[in-house]
Amino acid sequence: MDKGKMDENEWGYHGEGNKSLVVAHAQRCVVLRFLKFPPNRKKTSEEIFQHLQNIVDFGKNVMREFLGENYVHCGEVVQLPLDFVKQLCLKVQSERPESRCDKDLDTLSGYALCLPNLARLQTYHFAEHRPILCVEIKPKCGFIPFSSDVTHEMKHKVCRYCMHQHLKVATGKWKQISKYCPLDLYSGNKQRMYFALKSLLREAQNNLKIFKNGELIYGCKDARSPAADWSELAHHLKPFFFPSNGLASGPHCTRAVIRELVRVITRVLLSGSDKGRAGALRLGPGSQGPCVCEASPFGKSLRHQGKSSLERSGLPKGCLLYKTLQVQMLDLLDIEGLYPLYRRVEQYLEEFPEQRKTLQIDGPYDEAFYQKLLDLSTEDDGTVAFALTKVQQYRVAMTAKDCSIMIALSPCLQDASSDQRPIVPSSRSRFTFSVSVLDLDLKPYESIPHQYKLDGKIVNYYSKTVHTKDATMMSTRFKESEDCTLVLHKV
Ligand SMILES: O=P(O)(O)O[C@@H]1[C@@H](OP(=O)(O)O)[C@H](OP(=O)(O)O)[C@H](O)[C@H](OP(=O)(O)O)[C@H]1OP(=O)(O)O
Ligand SMILES: Nc1ncnc2c1ncn2[C@@H]1O[C@H](COP(=O)(O)OP(=O)(O)OP(=O)(O)O)[C@@H](O)[C@H]1O
């Protein structure tokens, strides 16, 4: 990229989250990722450069080690002409969803991250001229906490995502409760994975986006977004999955196309080589912990059918979902066990503020930082060192709980023999594919008190409203069955 000749007209709005905004180059397979801040939060250019450099280092030295180099694209920090950034900011403003405009793009430092455009096949510098479909999934936390520090019994039964849904709907973030449960997606059981993916397709929220040739064709900006339209989605997808066949349109066609999409995505998610060291962590509740969330409709329906002992087919160890789950499980103590350790580190820092650097709270995220994460002991010897290790592991785990997976699919050419990329078949076509992870920014140390409060809020809200409602329904049902018995007696 020639940074001297940057033209804002060659770039277009691509997407944004809570902390960054992404623009994509019209021809080349690259994106620029800018940081965003609340309007009154002034950061110096040096601070912004350091923040971005930390993101790159964390990706390189930690996430690449855990997840494998094929999945993690760290990019590089670039310095751009300020004029270009200002013009670009004006250009994209009208395309930004209103709900994201509480933060402004950083136009003062001129720094951004340059990354491969993962919504196109991973070829970095050159745009592919083949049609490309890309599915982005933010799977969230895929396990139920196994820590003995958990005090709310509900947290051992219902996963955080499913509990959080109720609070999100109550506060107006989303319109309705999703049937998606991360435990279904992470189960490795195909039926459960199909169910999870279909649920995401019904209620995408911020957990699913679909891009065609780099353009967003399916996804949900906020609670005001229109309801999901599967027939429109199927119209976009049909040429990919039924290229040469005159499958009639209508509900039958829509179902067939969605089924193909779900199957292909499941296959891709279960594929993968065994690179990366997350497998070596061997974390988790083993066979003891619950593998089904009580709130998942899939789990519920199986229980109603009397199939209470759900099989755990498990994820293949090489696949990205498995590795991501392993990193998530670095949250060994749950926020309830972690928070007192955070307080210990805080007290130490209040006394010795100059130690913040030595403790690597704000980086550098280097090899030494990575090595310390591998200590999985949970025996608290009362030291700051123990507390710090658990705090850093928690931050890494939270990062893995909030990352997204990008799956790019491109129909195979007739002569695909020279193509080195893996191939996934569908019933009427074949695709080359690539899988990548994005949004691997280490969660800040300062967010731990917020996590602690939010956790309490989610569980209390769920327990008070949903559980009480369930209990009321149960007692009504119980009364009804009593009434029924009385009637039977009378007869
Ligand atoms: O706390 P959660 O689970 O709601 O996750 C937040 C996400 O909300 P979600 O539940 O996925 O809609 C939230 O996503 P949205 O802004 O709601 O799209 C962010 O990803 C946030 O991360 P950060 O603070 O920007 O680094 C996420 O915060 P972290 O908890 O990962 O710090
Ligand atoms: N390298 C990339 N290639 C293609 N698209 C990308 C890339 N990086 C980010 N995006 C798109 O931009 C969106 C926002 O990026 P990202 O998730 O990194 O933002 P964020 O603000 O850090 O997220 P969060 O809300 O989780 O804090 C993503 O959902 C994705 O659609």
73: CATH: 3.30.200.110
42 & 168 share domain: no
158 within domain boundaries? yes
85 & 140 share domain: no
129 within domain boundaries? no
488 within domain boundaries? no
Are 75 and 60 a contacting pair, CB within 8 Å?
Answer: no
User: How far is the centre of ligand 2, averaged over its atoms, from the C-alpha of 367 (Å)?
Assistant: 26
Structure ipTM? 0.98
Q: Tell me the average pLDDT across 391-414.
A: 94
Segment 190-206, tens digit of pLDDT: 999 999 999 999 999 99
Q: Among 82, 117, 152, which residue terminates a domain?
A: 117
CA distance 171 to 165: 10
Mean residue pLDDT of the chain comes to 88
Q: Tell me the average pLDDT across 219-244.
A: 86
Query: What are the residues whose beta carbons fall under 8 Å from the beta carbon of 143, sequence distance 6 or more?
Result: 159, 183, 186, 284, 285, 289, 325, 328, 329
Long-range contacts at 89-95 (CB < 8 A, ≥ 24 apart): 91/8, 91/9, 91/11, 91/13, 92/12, 92/13, 92/21, 92/23, 95/13
Burial class (CB in 10 A: 0-12, 13-18, 19+), 119: buried
Atom of ligand 2 nearest to the CA of 402: 26
Tokens matching residue 470: 């369930």
- In the predicted model, is pLDDT for residue 239 greater than 60? yes
Cite the DSSP H helix spans in 32-159.
45-58, 64-67, 82-93
CA distance 325 to 333: 15
Q: Where are the beta strands (DSSP E) in 266-388?
A: none
Which residue shows structure tokens 């096949």? 121
19 lines ligand 1 (CB under 6 A): yes
* Residue 491, pLDDT score: 29
Atom of ligand 1 nearest to the CA of 447: 32
265 & 335 share domain: yes
334 & 448 share domain: yes
* Residue 416, pLDDT score: 54
217 & 250 share domain: yes
Question: For atom 19 of ligand 2, which residue has the closest CA?
Answer: 17
Task: For residue 170, give its domain range.
Answer: 134-305+314-465
Q: Among 117, 144, 163, which residue terminates a domain?
A: 117
∠ Cα 292 293 296 (to 5°) = 105
Are 114 and 298 a contacting pair, CB within 8 Å?
Answer: no
CA distance 125 to 129: 13
Question: For atom 11 of ligand 2, which residue has the closest CA?
Answer: 15
Angle between helices 384-401 and 334-351 (to 10 degrees): 130
Closest ligand to C-alpha of residue 99 is: 1
Pocket of ligand 2 (CB under 6 A): 14-20, 22, 31, 33, 115-119, 136, 209, 402, 404, 438-439, 441
273 within domain boundaries? yes
61 & 138 share domain: no
DSSP 277-304: SGGGG--S-TTTS-SS-TT-HHHHHHHH
Q: Tell me the average pLDDT across 128-132.
A: 75
CA distance 207 to 200: 7
81-95, 287-301, 415-429: which is most confident: 81-95
Segment 346-358, tens digit of pLDDT: 999 999 999 999 9
Q: Tell me the average pLDDT across 43-50.
A: 96
161 & 77 share domain: no
Atom of ligand 2 nearest to the CA of 209: 31
CA distance 183 to 140: 9
- In the predicted model, is pLDDT for residue 311 greater than 60? no
User: How far is the centre of ligand 1, averaged over its atoms, from the C-alpha of 361 (Å)?
Assistant: 21
447 lines ligand 1 (CB under 6 A): yes
151 & 92 share domain: no
Q: Is 296 left (phi over 0), alpha (psi -120 to 50) or beta?
A: beta
Tokens matching residue 276: 């990366």
- In the predicted model, is pLDDT for residue 417 greater than 90? no
Q: How far is CA 267 from CA 246, 409, 422, in A?
A: 25, 12, 12
More confidently predicted of 118 and 42: 118
Three-class SS of residue 375? coil
* Residue 419, pLDDT score: 60
216 & 323 share domain: yes
87 & 230 share domain: no
Q: What is the pTM of this model?
A: 0.92
Q: Give the count of domains, the chain.
A: 2
**Residue 335 CB neighbours (<10 A):** 24
Atom of ligand 2 nearest to the CA of 119: 4
User: How far is the centre of ligand 2, averaged over its atoms, from the C-alpha of 55 (Å)?
Assistant: 13
149 within domain boundaries? yes
For 434, which DSSP code? E
Are 78 and 55 a contacting pair, CB within 8 Å?
Answer: no
User: How far is the centre of ligand 2, averaged over its atoms, from the C-alpha of 385 (Å)?
Assistant: 33
Angle between helices 251-270 and 230-241 (to 10 degrees): 60
111 & 230 share domain: no
* Residue 486, pLDDT score: 34
Mutate to test the pocket of ligand 1, among 203, 206, 402 (most ligand atoms within 8 A of CB): 402
471 within domain boundaries? no
145 & 20 share domain: no
- In the predicted model, is pLDDT for residue 471 greater than 90? no
2 within domain boundaries? no
479 within domain boundaries? no
